Amino acid sequence: MQEGKVLPAAQVNRDLLRSILETPRWFWPVVSLLGMIVLAAAVTIGIMVDRGLGITGLNYKVVWGFFITNFVFWIGISHAGVMLSAILRLAKAEWRRPATRAAEVLTIFSLMTAMIMPIIHTGRPWRILYWAFPYDFARGVWPNIRTPLVWDPSAILTYLTSSTLFVLIALVPDFAVLRDRTTGWPKIVYTMLAMGWEGNPRQWKLQIIAGVLLSALILPVFVSVHSIVSWDFGMAVAIKSWHSTVFAPYFVVGAVHSGVSAVVFAMILLRWAYGWQDYIRHEHIDALGRLLIVVATGWFYFLVMEIIFGIYGLEGDELAVRALQFLPGDHGVAYNVWMIVFVGITYFLPVILWLPKAWRRNLWIMSVACISVNVGMWLERYLLFVPGQANKQFQTFTWNDYLPQWPEALIVGATFAFVSMLMLLFSRVFPLVPLYDIKEGDILKTEMQIGRRTVPATFRED
Amino acid sequence: MPNAEFPHKWGMVIDLDKCTGCQACVIACQAENNIPINTKDYFLQRRAYEWIRIERYWEGEYPNIKARFMPVLCQHCENAPCEPVCPVFATYHNEEGLNVQVYNRCVGTRYCINNCPYQVRMFNYWHPNWPARLENQLNPDVTVRTRGITEKCTFCVQRLRRGEIEVEARGGQRLSDERITGGNYDPACVQACPTNALVFGDLEDQDTSIKPYFDDVNAHPGHGEHDRETRGYRLLEEMNTRPSVIYLKKIDQYPLKGGH
């Protein structure tokens, strides 16, 4: 049974809509600061498109660097949405309620950010339409469906579409609440978005059916998106350490690991910023922490397996990449040190922090653990992708290293600002904690006395 | 256009015993194919362009040491890993066994570069430019590539096309009475090689000198390597890319002391 008191519906509305109906004083300064970072990155992208990818640190050997690492990172973050809302919804985990929408919205924004990365990473981004949206009817040259790079856009756009539908369906009852509480042009917008929601039993039934149906339909996407992204690497026969069959499950579990951590951190930030102590409670963070221990351990298993599978074949060129990853050497970048740092901050540090119950309920400790996971997961992708390209085959003459330059660092940093900015702007327009879902949870919690027994006052059929 | 009556299958044999590492092929290729000048900056950025490069390996310890040279160019694999990964069909296999790069289609995803085990695909990070006078020596038969696309060795396909036109002009009809043979058409690197370490030919032509090597290597693939009668081998044979380039092992007349 959950902790915390059952709040009256009017107070739920008042508390959760405060972020929309009143502007906090810090809001615009923070958004403008983030906007300036994004603007700086946009200018950098402009320079990059104008002058060529030469301004990055990529070279003749390492051709996929920071941008692709960042792409996979944000695709990973996006997995939190479907994990929290679809899987936990179908599993009837009550503690998911306040987190679902933040996770879904984070999914949408991180997918959008992720999609920018491979586009700006190409040599001629203005021609990208040719690949992702085939239009070349005249010459009959269609995209090559054998390549994972064509599977990618279809998987990601499917995920984006289904996540957007998911968020919109969950938002309809909340739009209606907003429609009734606003005036002027916002009211007109919310009226249109609410699509005539009155809250009658038939509408509720349809809404619940749509939610459950979408949860079930989104499940294959949950597995497919990151599997397909991992095949960008797994299908590359020429690069040792990439050409691995374990990549798909490894990437999916890693994605849930970093995604759920990111959602926990986002929830802690929102709780602090908007004062939602009564909604995002310690018990929710605690439950997510317990989930994360399981996910992290699953991920760690795959990490070890990936390394063992690589070394097991005892192929000289594969061992050369592993030596670059794990052994100290005379090369410029000390990958072995980064490797130790990465495993430490992605698994051992956070799991130790999540184990004691008191620490799971300490928001500072949880924040540290969740940030550390995400820094670690970013490093994981980098350490997975770059050494393989640097020591590609046993033609040692061509071995080469990669040093990222400032444009890449700036653009990668700005993606974090971009997602934060979008989340903040979203929270000003739409409720980031689902009102009806909280109320539904509260109703399910109410109990009544029958004789000496205390039983739930309601139960749900689905 | 490929000819149905006389199909072609182009191939090359590189005799490492003859290669002296003089880099004449590299320069010839640079001049023939409008490859930008490799300035100091390009080398410092590790983005030097070479469609054919001489890989230099040291064997032994100083002073008991030997330099080994190996020219590496696009292997024009029959089972090329770069081809299936291009989303826009910028690289594909043509009917003559050439691995073709279509610059107009390329968007620069660089997946082909990653998936090429031989690392012979080059990406144009900057817009190419030449010192003022040198622009006059650009080969009019070869496209000057823009920035943001991938390029690689073409087996000098422009020379092949020119050879076809000449044969056609002489014979009066399309490649019907006279074949383009190795003698009629050689890539720039083969033409420039002072020791004839590089030999080019048409595998459909029974008389070509390179045919026996291909027959031998094809007859004893992979694990049958020790049964081969010639010195032929393919680079990274275990990848099963089936390159159209065959290397001939070096014969070490004066082996290293204590070596093999």
Residue B125 has its nearest CB partner, among A53, A395, A396, at A53
Looking at the complex, report in whole angstroms how far the Cα of residue B117 sits from the nearest Cα belonging to chain A.
5
Place B244 in a pLDDT band, splitting at 50, 70 and 90. very high
Residue B87 has its nearest CB partner, among A54, A131, A396, at A131
Contact B239 A238 (CB under 8 A): yes
Residue B55 contacts A where some CB pair is shorter than 8 Å: yes
- If you measure CA to CA, which chain A residue comes closest to B151? A60
CA distance B109 to B123: 10
Which has more confidence, A78 or A129? Answer: A78
CA distance A265 to A347: 17
Q: What is the DSSP letter of B212?
A: H
φ, ψ at A456 (rounded to 5°): -60, 140
CA distance B56 to B49: 17
- Given a cut of 50, whether residue A157 has pLDDT beyond it is yes
Residue B122 contacts A where some CB pair is shorter than 8 Å: yes
Q: Report if residue A429 sits inside a domain.
A: yes
Contact A51 B126 (CB under 8 A): yes
Contact B107 A389 (CB under 8 A): no
Q: Report if residue A441 sits inside a domain.
A: yes
Strand partners, B58: B67
Q: B69: Cβ–Cβ under 8 A, 6 or more apart, which residues?
A: B16, B19, B20, B21, B54, B55, B56, B57
Place A75 in a pLDDT band, splitting at 50, 70 and 90. very high
Looking at the complex, report in whole angstroms how far the Cα of residue A399 sits from the nearest Cα belonging to chain B.
10
What tens digit of pLDDT does each residue of A52-73 get? Answer: 899 999 999 899 999 999 999 9
- What are the chain A neighbours of B87 within 8 Å (beta carbons)? 131, 143-144, 147, 149-150
Share of chain B above pLDDT 70, in %: 90
Looking at the complex, report in whole angstroms how far the Cα of residue B184 sits from the nearest Cα belonging to chain A.
33
A330 and A399 Cβ atoms separated by less than 8 Å:
no
Place B2 in a pLDDT band, splitting at 50, 70 and 90. very low
- Find which of A237, A239, A402, A403 to mutate to test the B interface (most B CBs within 10 Å of its CB): A237
Domain that holds residue A444: 9-456
Q: A227: Cβ–Cβ under 8 A, 6 or more apart, which residues?
A: A248, A249, A251, A252
Place A141 in a pLDDT band, splitting at 50, 70 and 90. confident
- The HSE-up count of residue A129 (CA atoms within 13 Å, CB side) is 3
* 217-256 of B, contacting A, C-beta below 8 A: 236, 239
Residue B86 has its nearest CB partner, among A121, A123, A144, at A144
- Given a cut of 50, whether residue A351 has pLDDT beyond it is yes
A85 and A96 Cβ atoms separated by less than 8 Å:
yes
Residue B114 has its nearest CB partner, among A131, A144, A238, at A238
**Domains held by chain A: number:** 1
User: And the tokens for A361?
Assistant: 């309920």
- What are the chain A neighbours of B122 within 8 Å (beta carbons)? 60
- If you measure CA to CA, which chain A residue comes closest to B58? A397
Place A408 in a pLDDT band, splitting at 50, 70 and 90. very high
Give the number of beta-carbon pairs within 8 Å between A and B: 135
In this structure, the number of other CB atoms found within 10 A of the CB of residue A91 comes to 9
Residue A131 has its nearest CB partner, among B48, B88, B116, at B88
Q: Report if residue A246 sits inside a domain.
A: yes
Strands (E), chain B: 10-15, 53-61, 64-72, 91-93, 99-101, 122-123, 150-151, 198-202, 232-233, 245-248
- If you measure CA to CA, which chain B residue comes closest to A315? B238
Share of chain A above pLDDT 70, in %: 95
List C-alpha distances in Å: A72 to A32, A87, A96, A222, A263.
Answer: 27, 22, 25, 15, 17
The string over A233-257, giving b where at least 16 C-beta atoms fall within 10 Å of a residue's C-beta and e elsewhere, is bbbbbbbbbbbbebbbbbbbbbbbb
Looking at the complex, report in whole angstroms how far the Cα of residue B47 sits from the nearest Cα belonging to chain A.
5
Q: Is B232 helix (H, G, I), strand (E, B) or coil?
A: strand
Residue B89 has its nearest CB partner, among A56, A64, A141, at A141
Place B234 in a pLDDT band, splitting at 50, 70 and 90. very high
User: And the tokens for A417?
Assistant: 């600002």
A66 and A383 Cβ atoms separated by less than 8 Å:
no
CA distance A294 to A182: 43
Q: Report if residue A272 sits inside a domain.
A: yes
Looking up tokens 């802690």, which residue turns up? A268
Looking at the complex, report in whole angstroms how far the Cα of residue A329 sits from the nearest Cα belonging to chain B.
19
Q: Report if residue A2 sits inside a domain.
A: no
Contact A118 B109 (CB under 8 A): yes
List C-alpha distances in Å: A141 to A146, B92, B180, B210.
Answer: 14, 12, 30, 36
- Helix ranges (DSSP H) in chain B: 24-32, 40-44, 111-115, 157-171, 188-192, 211-219
**Stretch B158-186: mean pLDDT, rounded?**
67
Q: Which of A53-57, A73-77, A181-185 has the lowest mean pLDDT?
A: A181-185
Q: Report if residue A462 sits inside a domain.
A: no
Residue B147 has its nearest CB partner, among A60, A123, A144, at A123
- What are the chain B neighbours of A395 within 8 Å (beta carbons)? 55, 72, 118-119
Which has more confidence, B69 or A394? Answer: B69
Place B184 in a pLDDT band, splitting at 50, 70 and 90. low
Looking at the complex, report in whole angstroms how far the Cα of residue A238 sits from the nearest Cα belonging to chain B.
5
Contact B107 A124 (CB under 8 A): yes
Looking at the complex, report in whole angstroms how far the Cα of residue A47 sits from the nearest Cα belonging to chain B.
12
**Stretch B157-176: mean pLDDT, rounded?**
71
- Given a cut of 80, whether residue A107 has pLDDT beyond it is yes
- If you measure CA to CA, which chain B residue comes closest to A388? B114
- Given a cut of 90, whether residue B221 has pLDDT beyond it is no
Residue B149 contacts A where some CB pair is shorter than 8 Å: yes
B10-248 is a CATH 3.90.960.10 domain: no
Query: Given CA atoms A108, A113, A119, A122 in this order, what sign does their dihedral have?
Result: negative
CATH of the domain at A42: 1.20.1630.10
Which has more confidence, B115 or B162? Answer: B115
Residue B194 contacts A where some CB pair is shorter than 8 Å: no
Contact A146 B125 (CB under 8 A): no
Contact B57 A397 (CB under 8 A): yes
ipTM: 0.89
Place B181 in a pLDDT band, splitting at 50, 70 and 90. low
A285 and A370 Cβ atoms separated by less than 8 Å:
no
- The HSE-up count of residue A34 (CA atoms within 13 Å, CB side) is 16
Residue B1, pLDDT score: 44
- Find which of A48, A50, A53, A231 to mutate to test the B interface (most B CBs within 10 Å of its CB): A53
Region of residue B101 (phi > 0: left; psi between -120 and 50: alpha; otherwise: beta): beta
Q: What is the DSSP letter of B48?
A: -
- What are the chain A neighbours of B45 within 8 Å (beta carbons)? 54, 59
Q: Where are the domains of chain B?
A: 10-248
